[in-house]
Structure 1
Amino acid sequence: MLLKEYCAENYTCLPAAIANGASRIELCDNLSVGGTTPSTGVIEESLSYAGEKEVPLMTMIRPRGGDFIYNDIELRIMETDLIEAKKLGVDGVVFGCLTPNNWLDEEALERLIAAAEGLQITFHMAFDQIPVAQQYEAIDWLSEHGVTRILTHGGPNGTTIQENLEHLRELINYANHRLTILPGGGITAENTEDLAKQLGVNEVHGTKIISLPEKDAE
């Protein structure tokens, strides 16, 4: 059965998304900038509802929009937010840290991965900023450090998911079940099943992978 991870902005559409088939939630704030850490209150209420429905909840850990190059203060903020989310009982966390030359910020990632011990970890679409030739090495590093999945569009912003299918297949084959390659970006309720079949995956991600009643989708 296809697992549909719905990217929820705050609590607002979460109940409707679960009622309409979301089987995992990625909880964010500020989707207009790609998602940031939601508040403690939002996490708490979302966890309460999702828990009743037995739907796992992943929480975004990102202190701001913009790039994925974080200074020491921002990393302390991320670590604190992660620890608080863990205390609340989230199933997993979502983050990504890069260096100025678009490689994995290994030191920052090791710090956050250590704080997330016992949780599922998703490395988010910062992955798509890594040069294609280095993405395979990044998969090696992330899998060796216990990351559960990588969320990727398979190409840069502005490309369609259909344009990136070949590269996504290459990433999926290379990962070889060491971690999950989670396709996202441009996946909708209309094309979800077809894209999953073309890629041979059983998990997909997006803000539009669930058909919501119009009043809830606004």
Structure 2
Amino acid sequence: MKKFFVECCVESLDQAIKAEKKGADQIELCKNLKDDGLTPDIDLVSNTLNKVSVPIKIMVRPRKGNFIYSESEIIQIKNQIMNLKVLGVEEIVFGALNQNNNVDFEQIKRVADWSYPMKITFHKAIDYSSNFFDDIKSLIKIDRVKSILTSGKSSSAKIGASTIKKAVKNYQSSINVIAAGKITNKNLDSIHKLINGRYYHGKNILGKLS
């Protein structure tokens, strides 16, 4: 067994193909990584699914900025999910917060219903939560939510390593805790020693792809 699982974040077909060749275990496909990732165009999703063999997650995020969504934005999210379902997407990445900056469980449950049978990774939006660990415990109770993406409430996985390590220790048996935040091919091993996790994520986690 590999000592850890590498998820590479990409925003083009070329990057996805390169990530697979470099040994990515899984790919997260987005657009506009400069804005921390938005829902990719449907043609890009289709082409990537056809050209890449490793599992692919698709970001569902209609705009940059915060994760507090209006009802009209939630309908847009629903439509994006339905389009992805038609293509056979097996997992999405999504996060929503309420006005108190805690996880918006009402919206997550709606998304879980719409996206069934797709799996869900809860976005790094969880790092904004003031109830970080309690929200993880509550996410575990939502059957379709299989993973969370986190920098340990910090600007990088290295800085948030102690929080991520605690989440791994307490919850990894129930949900995949994916460490993220400025993880590269050069610091992955050292961050793994700090966290001792199973899952790691980054756009440069296998080196530069473009």
User: TM-score, length-normalised on structure 1?
Assistant: 0.90
2:36 aligns with 34
Instruction: Report the CA distance between 1:194 and its aligned residue.
Output: 2.9
Q: Look up the equivalent residue of 1:36 and give its one-letter code.
A: L
1:108 corresponds to 2:118: no
Instruction: Report the CA distance between 1:176 and its aligned residue.
Output: 4.0
2:125 aligns with 126
CA contact (8 A) 1:150 1:181 kept: yes
Instruction: Report the CA distance between 1:197 and its aligned residue.
Output: 3.6
2:45 aligns with 43
Q: Give 4+ residue runs of structure 1 displaced > 6 Å after superposition.
A: none
- When the two structures are aligned, how many residues end up with a matched partner? 207
Q: Look up the equivalent residue of 1:73 and give its one-letter code.
A: S
Determine helix, strand or coil for the equivalent of 2:107: helix
Instruction: Report the CA distance between 1:201 and its aligned residue.
Output: 1.7
- Picking from 153, 156, 166, the partner of 1:155 is 153
Instruction: Report the CA distance between 1:49 and its aligned residue.
Output: 1.1
CA contact (8 A) 1:129 1:156 kept: no
1:210 corresponds to 2:206: yes
1:10 corresponds to 2:7: no
Comparing 134-143 and 194-203, the one that deviates more: 194-203
Determine helix, strand or coil for the equivalent of 1:127: helix
CA contact (8 A) 2:151 2:161 kept: no
**Root-mean-square deviation (CA), in Å?**
1.3
Determine helix, strand or coil for the equivalent of 1:163: coil
Give distance in 2, aligned partners of 1:85 and 1:33. Answer: 21
1:61 aligns with 60
Give distance in 1, aligned partners of 2:159 and 2:60. Answer: 29
CA contact (8 A) 1:136 1:174 kept: no
1:144 corresponds to 2:129: no
Give distance in 2, aligned partners of 1:177 and 1:79. Answer: 30
| Structure 1: runs of 5+ lacking an equivalent | none
Give distance in 2, aligned partners of 1:201 and 1:161. Answer: 11
After superposition, give the CA deviation of every residue in 1:5-57 in whole Å (9 maximum; x if it has no partner). Answer: 1100132311111111111010001111110000110000010112xx3x000
- Picking from 174, 182, 199, the partner of 1:178 is 174
| Structure 2: runs of 5+ lacking an equivalent | none
Determine helix, strand or coil for the equivalent of 2:160: helix
1:162–1:108 Cα change, 3 Å: same
